[in-house]
A and B are shown apart, each in its own frame.
Chain A
Amino acid sequence: MLTKRIIPCLDVTLDSEGGTVVKGVEFFNLRHAGDPVEFAKLYNEQGADEIVFLDITASHEGRTTMIDVIERTADEVFIPLTVGGGVGSVEDVRQILRAGADKVSINTSAVKNPNLIKETSDIFGSQCIVTAIDCKRNTNVADNSDKTILTLEDGTPAWYEVVIYGGRKPTGIDAVQWAKKVVELGSGEIMLTSMDRDGTYDGFDVPVTRAVSESVEVPIIASGGAGNPQHMYEGFTSGKADAALAASIFHFGEYTVPGVKEYLKNHDLPIRI
């Protein structure tokens, strides 16, 4: 049976000496503290189903160093690797795949130039083009009858607006409609992050996760808000997600990948142990 995937996400940035480090990780006692490759190896050994690297260096030097990180990871970690962050062209995608990544996630650039999804999926195949959708609740439904109106947990009607540039800029685009569009363009997977939940530990944003999952044929990775294994369970069941992404709960050691997986398996979800 196809299992639900647990995916640790590593935000990779540069330190003062220009080396790559994972942001927001405090507890692991590793030989090369902060080296993204060491984290990827560790999570692999713990039974992670995939690894996601987000390049948050936002500079040319950063990208070059990131390529080195991808190469070193691909040389030692034999599970799927997705890389995102600042991907803006066919050449970016080619470079990342050639370095050894299996999938590339495209976010802001896809909103600015949707054709990039079509172009890259035509060339490299849909299976390696992930669209990252960041969205935010918008309760102004009166002026937005063309949007997909969902019901929040407390019964409030709302639509979810796509936001770009790390959540700073709203776009007026409906997240559910955008998800359908990127799948039509050729995206093979969607990584859906609710900015209302990101960093809150309140759990995944179930209404939008479920709505997107039910509207498209491709797998959905729920992201933003996971604070405990029960949140993962809700994301998979109520949210109908195919995979769950988490960063802090694993990095800070509150929960481990095997611990979360055991919890989910004990709650009758298909999980690879």
Chain B
Amino acid sequence: MKKITIIDYGLGNLRSIRKALEMVGAKPVISSNPEEILDADGVILPGVGAFIDAMNNLQPLTDVIYEYVDTGKPLLGICLGQQILMSKSDEGGLTDGINLVPGRVRRFPSSELKVPHMGWNSITINKSHSILEGISDGDYVYFVHSYYVDTDEYHTLSSCDYGLSFAAVVVNEKGNVVGTQFHPEKSGKKGLKIVENFVNMC
């Protein structure tokens, strides 16, 4: 059974991610212990709330995350966890992310559209990757965010439209670090499929 460590660095609903992992046959561990991260088959970086608070809370673990990622084992960032993977964020003044994927986190511009972008939106598949196996163009997933990831085509596996096109799923050069702006653990059957795909990558 694959051991998946969910990094615990503060707040948020980790129960749903843990349960989703159990549903697809993995063994989840919620921990901030460096050893539990390093010896995991897969690591999930969750996150809700503000970018700067998350970065501050994550600070003691960033070296461990780099060390883990260098082994080539998979890491999945979810929602704010995806945004943290990027180089920089505009949220709360320009703040550095952990820079595993190049790109910038920006706020949705003022328009007629509501912010946060909250609810079920359809995604487009730009590139094939094992994280998206069984997921098709037009499938709906659940989003809730006010900032979005702006990166290049190379690092975008899937995109979503909300006034502008933004990265719904990102990837690093090596292919072992992926991030989803939406919540797979809250996206019904399609979401569970993505969780399962991640476990299969591990």
Contacts and interface: CB of A to CB of B under 8 A. Distances in A.
A2 B16 contact: no
A123 interface: yes
B145 A2 contact: no
Among the interface residues A1, A2, A3, A243, which one has the most CB atoms of the partner chain B within 10 A? A2
Contacts of B143: 2
A2 B121 contact: yes
Contacts of B19: 74-76, 78, 100
Interface residues of B, number: 37
A127 interface: yes
Given A79-B142, A125-B49, A189 B13 contact: no
A2 B117 contact: yes
Nearest to B192: A78
Contacts of A218: 114-116, 118
A102 B182 CA distance: 13
A116 interface: no
Interface string B131-166: 000000000101111100000000000000110000
A124 B186 contact: no
A79 B186 contact: yes
Contacts of A3: 119-121, 140
A189 B146 CA distance: 12
Contacts of B11: 97, 123-125
B188 A44 contact: yes
A3 B139 CA distance: 12
Contacts of B121: 1-3
A243 B119 contact: yes
Given A1-B122, A126-B116, A100 B48 contact: no
Given A79-B188, A188-B116, A219-B118, A100 B13 contact: yes
B186 A80 contact: yes
Nearest to A97: B13
A112 interface: no
B147 to A, nearest CB: 11
A165 B52 CA distance: 37
Contacts of B12: 97, 124-125
A100 B15 contact: yes
Contacts of B15: 71, 74-75, 98-100
Contact of B120 (A97, A123, A126, A272): A272
A87 B40 CA distance: 38
Interface in A36-78: 44, 49, 71, 74-76, 78
Nearest to A75: B19
Contacts of A217: 110, 114-115
B48 to A, nearest CB: 5
B85 interface: no
Interface in A1-21: 1-5
16 contacts: A1-B122, A3-B119, A3-B121, A49-B119, A49-B120, A78-B20, A79-B188, A80-B142, A80-B186, A99-B15, A101-B13, A102-B144, A188-B116, A219-B116, A242-B118, A243-B119
Q: Please give me the 4 A-B residue pairs with the lowest Cβ-Cβ distance, nearest first.
A: A125-B49, A100-B15, A272-B140, A272-B120
